[in-house]
Chains A and B, each alone.
Chain A
Amino acid sequence: MTAFLLDHVNKVFGGRRREVNALSDLSLTVAQNQRWGIVGESGSGKTTLLKILAGLMPPTSGRVQFLDRDLDLNNRATMASLRSSVQMIFQDPRSSLNPRMKISDIISEPLRSPLLKGRTDVPTDMRARVDEVLSEVGLPLDSADRYPHEFSGGQRQRIALARALAPRPKILLADEPVSALDVSVRAQVLNLLNTLVDSFELTLIMVTHDLGVVRHTCDYVGVLHQGVLVESGPVSSVMNDPRQGYTRELLNAVPRLDS
């Protein structure tokens, strides 16, 4: 089964003359349990791609499938299945957690969605599920009754991870999950992400501009440049034997200690 299938997807922003092609003719197949890293500079369409995958906006043209069903934002049954099986974590955990909500309410929000009512694959005992995911991301259980500002950046990203895991998703989307964090905690959060993806057999699609993160976490990589997927394939082959000039440029831009 494929996790995501994109077939000639285009996304155009704006109208009348000032059109911007955020994504051009993008085709990509992500099989289940693969870990994809989508790299590219800012403005390359990475975040647009994630938003389309997350069902936050429709593509202008082209076909998107998740878990072998067509992604139709107006179909309630499809959206229910998307919301239960696809979750997302964001770049800046200061912005992705509502400062006026308790951690338990933040984490249980996906479980409380009316879309997921009556689904058997979604946990129903919220309090128990909150405790469960809190321990899975390595936070103390008494965090549940506290507020986001009482936590550090790394801890907040753990909370965001806990929220994403709450409905037992099959696919995890990540938008630069560690780039807003202190360098000292990046590795911790990245390792946690790896462990969780392993133990819950998740499919991971991570957008980043950090090739080091891709090398550390992903086994497949796609290179986006101005909305075009210029190269994709297994991390080892793309990174060791880049075929496109742009990929080579990106690789050479990584600062090295030995040079």
Chain B
Amino acid sequence: MKKLTLIVGLVCSGFVVLVALVSLVWTPFDPTKVSTHRYGGLSWPHILGTDGLGMDTASRLMTGAQTTLLVGILAVGIAAVIGVPLGIYVGMGHKMLGEVVARASDILYALPALLLAILLAAAVGASVMTATVAIGIATIPIFQRMARAATLTVMSQDYILAAEVAGTPRFIIALRHILPNIAPLLGVQAAASFSMAILAEAGLAYLGLSAPQAVPAWGRMLRDADIYTAPGQAVIPGIAIAVAVMGFNLLGDGVRDYLDPRLREVR
């Protein structure tokens, strides 16, 4: 049962990655080429039809996988690169700073990604990048808290004292002892946050706060689909989003279940 979660997660997320890779070298049509063939149904050569501007849906769907992965990687990257070092630093001591960071985290946590995205879009214009940065920033508190909690657990181990007696500088202790021991937890969190970021970007795109129409992105395709004349055009990216979100979520769960017994032993 546990293995099934991992396998389904791997297959779904692997499929998304594969499609994105293929789209780098080949798509049936140019995904941004406008034609007079508007709202075409499922037929050859446009196997998934065309959208309101006559662009090939299958090609846009494939290229959209790139956008989706980019959003996930960048958003999680921003959150982890800022949140994890901060969490480790606070977890290793520094009570005063710890309080400051905890309160700042609370404030950021209360601020929805949507609001950040609106602010950023208003400031520099809506794009996939502004949406991704907004989601990334909104995810920082999750990584900061998790890294801090995990660091506190590791700090109570005697090998930290042993490292101090060995004269190891604090910075090296963080890299050599803490990071490797909290990495499995962070990896699981990264997979979960990855799928959350994909979903959030799709939502922002639907509201017009992410990709402009020319950019192939699943959330944007959802927005541009006319549910009265061509409802299928909304269903197709919807399924793609669902597969990607479920895939990365299950992957995270599967990895966590797989690592759990070993984590217990380490503790």
Q: Which residues of A are at the interface with B, using a C-beta cutoff of 8 A?
A: 54-56, 79-80, 83, 86-88, 90-92, 95-101, 109-110, 112-116, 149, 160, 163
The smallest C-beta distance from B164 to any residue of chain A, in angstroms, reads 6
Q: Is A56 a contact of B164 with CB atoms below 8 Å?
A: yes
Given contacts A98-B159, A98-B177, A101-B176, are A113 and B166 in contact (CB under 8 A)?
Answer: yes
User: Which residues of A are found within 8 Å of B176, using beta-carbon distances?
Assistant: 98, 101
7 cross-chain pairs, A with B, having the tightest CB-CB distances, nearest first: A113-B167, A83-B167, A96-B158, A110-B166, A115-B167, A95-B158, A100-B180
Q: Is B159 a contact of A95 with CB atoms below 8 Å?
A: yes
User: Which residues of A are found within 8 Å of B45, using beta-carbon distances?
Assistant: none
Most buried by A among B159, B181, B265: B159
Most buried by A among B159, B161, B165, B176: B165
Given contacts A56-B164, A149-B265, are A96 and B169 in contact (CB under 8 A)?
Answer: no
**Bound complex: CA A113 to CA B180 (Å):** 19
User: Which residues of B are found within 8 Å of A113, using beta-carbon distances?
Assistant: 166-169
User: Which residues of A are found within 8 Å of B168, using beta-carbon distances?
Assistant: 109, 112-113
Within 8 A of A (CB), among B4-49: none
**Bound complex: CA A116 to CA B168 (Å):** 10
The smallest C-beta distance from B133 to any residue of chain A, in angstroms, reads 33
Q: Is B166 a contact of A163 with CB atoms below 8 Å?
A: yes
**Bound complex: CA A112 to CA B175 (Å):** 14
User: Which residues of A are found within 8 Å of B180, using beta-carbon distances?
Assistant: 98, 100-101
**Bound complex: CA A99 to CA B181 (Å):** 8
Cβ of B266 within 8 Å of any chain A Cβ, yes or no, is: yes
Partner of B165, one of A88, A97, A116: A88
Given contacts A98-B181, A110-B167, are A88 and B162 in contact (CB under 8 A)?
Answer: yes
Q: Is B162 a contact of A90 with CB atoms below 8 Å?
A: yes
Partner of B167, one of A79, A100, A149, A163: A79
**Bound complex: CA A160 to CA B161 (Å):** 12
**Bound complex: CA A113 to CA B147 (Å):** 26
The smallest C-beta distance from B16 to any residue of chain A, in angstroms, reads 31
Among residues of B, the one whose C-beta sits closest to the C-beta of A109 is B166
Q: Is B181 a contact of A96 with CB atoms below 8 Å?
A: no
**Bound complex: CA A116 to CA B266 (Å):** 31
Cβ of B163 within 8 Å of any chain A Cβ, yes or no, is: yes
> What are 30 sample pairs from A and B whose C-beta atoms fall under 8 A apart?
A54-B165, A55-B165, A56-B164, A79-B167, A80-B167, A88-B161, A88-B165, A92-B158, A95-B157, A95-B158, A95-B159, A96-B159, A98-B157, A98-B163, A98-B177, A98-B180, A98-B181, A99-B181, A99-B266, A100-B180, A100-B181, A101-B176, A101-B177, A101-B180, A110-B165, A110-B167, A112-B168, A113-B166, A160-B162, A163-B162
Q: Which residues of B are at the interface with A, using a C-beta cutoff of 8 A?
A: 157-159, 161-169, 176-177, 180-181, 265-266
User: Which residues of A are found within 8 Å of B165, using beta-carbon distances?
Assistant: 54-56, 83, 86-88, 110
Most buried by A among B162, B176, B177, B181: B162
**Bound complex: CA A149 to CA B161 (Å):** 19
**Bound complex: CA A116 to CA B169 (Å):** 12
* Extra 11 A-B pairs, beta carbons < 8 Å, given A95-B159, A98-B181: A54-B165, A79-B167, A83-B167, A90-B161, A96-B157, A101-B177, A109-B166, A110-B166, A113-B169, A115-B167, A160-B162
The smallest C-beta distance from A163 to any residue of chain B, in angstroms, reads 7
**Bound complex: CA A147 to CA B51 (Å):** 58
User: Which residues of B are found within 8 Å of A96, using beta-carbon distances?
Assistant: 157-159, 161-162
Among residues of B, the one whose C-beta sits closest to the C-beta of A55 is B165
User: Which residues of B are found within 8 Å of A95, using beta-carbon distances?
Assistant: 157-159
The smallest C-beta distance from A206 to any residue of chain B, in angstroms, reads 15
The smallest C-beta distance from A13 to any residue of chain B, in angstroms, reads 14
Q: Is B159 a contact of A97 with CB atoms below 8 Å?
A: yes
User: Which residues of B are found within 8 Å of A160, using beta-carbon distances?
Assistant: 162
The smallest C-beta distance from B95 to any residue of chain A, in angstroms, reads 12
**Bound complex: CA A56 to CA B239 (Å):** 57
**Bound complex: CA A123 to CA B109 (Å):** 51
**Bound complex: CA A32 to CA B181 (Å):** 39
**Bound complex: CA A101 to CA B179 (Å):** 12
**Bound complex: CA A98 to CA B155 (Å):** 11
The smallest C-beta distance from A99 to any residue of chain B, in angstroms, reads 5
